[in-house]
Amino acid sequence: MRTREEHLKWCKERALEYVDAGELADAVASEKHPETRFSPTLLAVGMLYVMDGDPQAVRRWVEGFR
């Protein structure tokens, strides 16, 4: 299994590919590593950006994870 940092980098790259393809919900909804899961509140914020159809906001949301 990858380290948390390696997996987070991969997740962000993958999510940004989804943003670039216009697949905003996929950019927000994917989480597979136990150490990179986020709270339901953060997921709700990301989904609000998706519902607004705002790719720049989704990009900022993805890029903001540390």
Query: For 15-54, what is each residue's pLDDT tens digit?
Result: 999 999 999 999 998 666 666 677 788 889 999 999 999 9
Q: What is the number of domains present in the chain? A: 1
Look at residue 13 and tell me whether its pLDDT is greater than 90. Answer: yes
Q: What is the mean pLDDT of residues 55-65?
A: 95
Contact indicator for 27, 18 with CB cutoff of 8 Å: yes
Q: What's the pLDDT score for residue 29?
A: 84
* Domain coverage including residue 39: 4-63
Residue whose pair of structure tokens reads 């994870």 in the numeric block: 65
Q: What's the pLDDT score for residue 62?
A: 93
Q: What's the pLDDT score for residue 7?
A: 84
Q: What global pTM score does this model have?
A: 0.85
